[in-house]
Amino acid sequence: MKGTRELFKSILLVTLVLSSVVLTYMNLFNGLMIDDNSSDDVDSSSLNFSQYMSPQSFFISFGGLSYTKVYDLSIQDELWTEVRPYIENCFMNYESVKEITKKEYTEAFTGKSVLIRMPFNLSVDEWLSLYIDKFNINSNLKMTPKEYIINSDKTRSLYIYDASEKKYYHLTNKSLAYDVRPLVLRIKDQGNLEYRTIYSRFSLDSTVEEPFDTLNLELIPVETEFVVPSLIVDNEVSIEDDKFTDEISNISNAVFGSRLDFVKKLRDVNDSIILMYGYGDKSLMITKEGLISYRKKLNPANAKKSSLKEALSLAIGKIENFGIVPEGLYLENYQYDPEHRIHQFKFNYKLNDYAIAYLNANQSPVEITVQDNQVIAIDKNIKIFAGEYSSAKYRNTSLYAVDKCINDNSMEIVVYYLKDNDVREEVLDPTDYYFPLRSEIKSIELSYLETQDNEESIALPIWKVVIDKRTYLFDGYSGDLISSYQ
Amino acid sequence: MFRKSLSLLLILIFILSCQMGFASSTHPVSADQIIIQEPETDVISNEKQAYITVNIVSNKLKDRPITVSIVRVENKLPFAENLSNDLKVSVMRLTSSAVGSLDRYLKYNATYDTSEPQYSEGYKKETLLINRFYELKDSISLQTIEINTLNKKYKFDTIVGNTEAISKLTTEEYTAYKKWVNLKNAVSDDKKEYEKLQIEFSSYFEKQILVDEITMPSYSKVVGKLSIGHYILRFIDDEKQLIKELEFDVIDNQEIIKRIPLTGNK
């Protein structure tokens, strides 16, 4: 009897040991399966560069003093699709390159011509490496073009402004001629707002002297009777329980795969929701303000140095599979840290044809960090259009003219201007600096700024004006100075 | 010698002081401080929007703003039909071209009122002015012909002030000479009155298109499409005195196209 009991105990013990071995194995195997299935370790990529790497300022000269600026996204696309091949052809098949003066460059933007400005700085070789496979990166064009001018009278010419070196060039094409005239006439037929160059609007050749910019090519609207509505906007993912699961599913599926067994959901003290895989190998944080932050630990096994093209295609591939791709998404800024092999891409997008502005520098709606051929971070905070907004304060009347914004706030602007240039001078009358300040206008753009009104998130049209080294944001309806930064 | 030098010096001082007096204008800004950027030319198409862009290199505008105005100069007198029955001139003659060119000094010393013109009841005052204007115009014209005829015959202009030559004139010639001098004096007096009336009469043909105040160093305005005609862009100071003006014509777009040289494309 005693022997039978001992035997039973032994069998039970063996069974327990065996079952623990089997279960451990199964568990381990399952874990490996999850890792194998996690396609995210190998990021998807996209070569759709042209769509995201487009100029964001299109200036059109109709001849005489008449100019316009194109904001319409479809016309911008059309322009870029037509002009880009010619620019690339000029890089590869140039006959001559000559450094020219700013005066010659300014003269190229008269008659019927087009000026396009890139939002980021990329050298010619970096640019070509993106579009041409196995390109022997040695074009001998050691320049970083920021602006291009194509003039209808010079069909084999391309004028380039290198902002980093502050140099101007004239390239001639060996084989291809391109006439921009039909494009200019097409835009003219569509009816546009009338603009003037800053140098003609403020007669800079007579009102200021060197070293001020008497040839300032930036455009300023002369017509002010146009309406830009303020918009009601929503976050892409709401942290409210009833909406969260639905709205996050697109992103969480792309990040964690369809199996969420090992994903923990936490709620932070500031109401943010954090989804975390493993011990923080991957995480998603969604804040009340709409920011979606993705972080992934660098996997040393897959680490390899990536070229700009590889890194950019990973970044674009990732953003195309990371929730909603907003309208008019474009690369706004690019930086490379060679020490840590980190490529950082900043993207902006459009709401109702206008880009998004922030209250401080270096902030963008979408930021993607690529290190060693892996996307290690995404910060995305985009807003979804939810209707036009109207209230007594933000009534949808004509915009406040940009020159009035500058006039109304002239005292503050002059004080900042002198401070930024270390000039200790008491400002008694801002009109003493009237024309010098205008000659220092570097850019004028209509943008949208997210703000709150009666607990509602709205996008307010603003004038984003860069004067000298400082950016000023003016309320598009009242002309009040909202903020400024360097 | 000394007397001659002294008188020369005095004349020089007089000329200099005259010039300084003329230069030290009381305008808050001088004409050369006003840079008219647009209109760019003195001819504008009737199919294009007209813009005014002006830059003023002065910091006195805040305290003493200036007025910008555009007037359309009508070819025919707008109220010709309403003038009183006392009108002694043919209505056909009442055209802006009959006004003639204005004296520069008088033009820049006249008063420019940009408010709506107030005419007298039944246009009685205006009728009198017009009568007198044409009376003087005709009289000056007749007297000038007579002066020219006499001068052609006797060449009086070569002996003016030459007492010796005058004393040698025959009685007939001397009578003619006296008449010639009297006519010249009469024309001179008539002209003075005529020029004053000319300024006022020319204003009857003007219609205000735009009046605005400039308080900042830069001014820009969309005027819109203008109908075919002759226009004057004026800058007037706070004492209603003219500082600067630009005359331009709005012409048919087809005419503009004809004027573009074949090789040009701007």
What percentage of chain A exceeds 70 in pLDDT?
A: 92
Cα A114 to Cα A77: distance, rounded to the nearest angstrom: 14
> Closest Cα to residue A345, out of A329, A325, A321?
A329
- ipTM comes to 0.78
Average pLDDT of span B225-240: 93
Query: Is B266 in Cβ contact with A201 (below 8 Å)?
Result: no
pLDDT over threshold 50, residue B16: no
What is the rounded distance in angstroms from the CA atom of residue A465 to the CA atom of residue A474?
Answer: 8
Q: Inter-chain contact A431–B40, Cβ cutoff 8 Å?
A: no
pLDDT at B23: 43
* Residue listed under structure tokens 């033009």: B107
Would you state the pLDDT for residue A159?
Answer: 96
Contacts B59 to A, Cβ<8 Å: 429, 431-432, 434
A475 Cβ under 8 Å from any chain B Cβ: no
Answer whether residue A30 shows pLDDT above 70: no
DSSP code of residue A139:
-
What local confidence, expressed as pLDDT, does residue A395 receive? 63
Angstrom distance (rounded) from CA A50 to CA A74: 14
Predicted pLDDT of residue B2: 52
Amino acid A258: pLDDT: 66
Give the tokens for residue A267.
Answer: 């709620």
Touching check for B57 and chain A: CB below 8 Å?
A: yes
pLDDT tens digit sequence for B146-181:
889 888 887 877 777 777 877 887 888 888 888 888
Residue B43 near chain A (CB below 8 Å): no
Q: Which pLDDT belongs to residue A104?
A: 95
- Spatial CA neighbour of A317 closest among A29, A36, A44, A67: A44
Contacts of A479 (CB under 8 A, 6+ apart): A400, A401, A404, A405, A408, A409
Collect all residues of chain A within an 8 Å Cβ-Cβ radius of residue B57.
Answer: 206-207, 435
Mean pLDDT of chain A: 87
Question: Does the CB of A99 have a partner CB in chain B at under 8 Å?
Answer: no
What mean pLDDT comes out for the span A311-326?
90
List the single residue in A194, A200, A225 with the smallest CB-CB distance to B37.
A200
Rounding to the nearest 10 degrees, give the CA dihedral for residues B237, B239, B241, B243.
Answer: -20
Q: Which of A129-133, A419-423, A464-468, B253-257 has the lowest mean pLDDT?
A: A129-133
Which of A112, A207, A429 lies closest to B55 in CB terms? A207
Stated pTM of the model: 0.83
How close is the nearest chain A Cα to the Cα of B179, in Å?
55
* Pairwise CA distance, residues A451 & A393, whole Å: 13
Strands A230-235 and A383-389: antiparallel
Digit-coded pLDDT (tens) for A39-82: 445 567 777 787 888 888 899 999 988 999 998 888 898 899 99
What is the helix, strand, coil percentage profile of chain B, to 5? Answer: 45, 25, 30
How far apart, in whole angstroms, are the C-alpha atoms of residue A146 and residue A87?
Answer: 13
Tell me the CA distances in angstroms from B125 to B73, B96, B131, B205, one per residue in order: 21, 19, 10, 16
Q: Alpha-carbon distance A379 to B4, whole Å? A: 93
Q: Tell me the C-alpha distance between A426 and A415, whole Å.
A: 9
CB distance B216–A434 less than 8 Å? yes
Residues of B in contact with A429 (CB under 8 A): 59
- Closest CA–CA distance from residue B220 to any residue of chain A (Å): 7
* Residue A305 phi, psi dihedral angles, 5° rounding: -65, 135
d(Cα A403, Cα A438) in Å, to the nearest integer? 9
In order of B131, B143, B195, B196, the CA distances from B189 in angstroms are 17, 12, 10, 11
* Separation between Cα atoms, residue B130 and residue B110, nearest integer Å: 18
Closest Cα partner for B89 from B38, B44, B57, B137? B137
Q: Rounded to whole angstroms, what are the CA distances from A157 to A176, A178, B115?
A: 10, 9, 54
Q: Quick check: A391 contacting B, CB < 8 Å?
A: no
Q: How many CB pairs below 8 Å do chains A and B form together? A: 61
Identify from A199, A206, A413, A432 which residue to disrupt to test chain B contact, counting B C-beta atoms within 10 A and taking the largest count. A206
Taking contacts as CB-CB distances below 8 angstroms, the residues of chain A near B265 are 63, 111-112, 152-153
The answer to whether residue B218 neighbours chain A at the CB level (below 8 Å) is yes
Give the distance from residue B111's alpha carbon to the nearest chain A alpha carbon, in angstroms. 29
Quick one: pLDDT at residue A360?
85
Q: Which of A187, A166, A173 is nearest to A59 (CA)?
A: A187
Q: In this complex, which of A111, A431, A438 lies closest to B62 when CB atoms are compared?
A: A431
Task: Quote the pLDDT of residue B266.
Answer: 41
Residue B22 has pLDDT above 70, yes or no: no
Contact A228, A476 (CB under 8 A): yes
A153: chain B residues, CB-CB within 8 Å: 265
Eight-class DSSP state of A396: -
Chain length of chain B: 266
Q: What is the C-alpha radius of gyration for chain B, rounded to an integer number of angstroms?
A: 24
CA-CA distance, B260 to B255, in Å (whole number)?
Answer: 9
Cα distance between residue A462 and residue A446, in whole Å: 6
User: Torsions phi, psi of B11, nearest 5?
Assistant: -60, -45
Q: pLDDT tens digit string along A185-220?
A: 999 988 788 999 999 999 999 999 888 888 999 999
Mutation site, B51, B220, B259, interface A, largest A CB count within 10 A: B220
Q: Please state, as a whole number, how many other Cβ atoms lie within 10 Å of the Cβ of residue A128.
A: 19
Search chain B and give the residue with CA nearest A438: B218
Higher pLDDT, A246 or B191: B191
CB contact under 8 A, B265 and A153: yes
Query: Across A321-423, where does the E strand assignment appear?
Result: 330-337, 342-348, 350-351, 354-357, 366-371, 374-380, 383-389
Taking each helix axis as running N to C, give the angle between helix A124-131 and helix A73-92, from 0 to 180 degrees, rounded to the nearest 10.
110
Alpha helix locations (H) across A46-197? Answer: 49-52, 73-92, 102-108, 124-131, 181-189
Question: Can you tell me the distance from the alpha carbon of A471 to that of A442, in angstroms, rounded to the nearest whole number?
Answer: 9
Q: Give the span between the Cα atoms of A184 and A112, in whole angstroms.
A: 7
Closest CA to A348 of A435, A449, A422: A449
A407/B contact by beta carbon, under 8 A: yes
Q: Say which residues have a Cβ less than 8 Å from residue A404's Cβ, sequence separation at least 6.
A: A479
C-alpha–C-alpha distance, residues A346 and A53, integer Å? 11
Tell the residue number behind the tokens 């391309």, with chain if given. A158
Identify the residue with better confidence: A115 or A92. Answer: A115
Alpha-carbon gap, residue A318 to A328, rounded angstroms: 17
Grouping H, G, I as helix, E, B as strand and the rest as coil, residue A336 is strand
Q: At A253, is the pLDDT very low, low, confident or very high (cuts 50, 70, 90)?
A: confident
Q: Which two tokens stand for residue B11?
A: 């004349």
**3-state class percentages of chain A: helix first, strand second, coil last, to nearest 5:** 30, 30, 35
Residue A438 sits at the chain B interface (C-beta within 8 Å): yes
- What whole-number distance in Å separates Cα of residue A484 and Cα of residue B3? 73
Residues of A with Cβ-Cβ distance to B220 under 8 angstroms:
196, 201, 222, 403
Cα nearest neighbour of B223 on chain A: A223
Q: Measure A97 CA to nearest chain B CA, in Å.
A: 26
Q: By CA distance, what is B263's nearest residue in A?
A: A153
**Mutate which: A62, A107, A199, A201, vs B, most B CBs within 10 A:** A201
Most B-contacting residue of A154, A188, A403, A434 (CB-CB within 10 A), to test interface: A434
Among the listed residues A168, A118, A113, the one whose alpha carbon sits nearest the alpha carbon of residue A143: A168
Q: Name the DSSP class of B117.
A: P
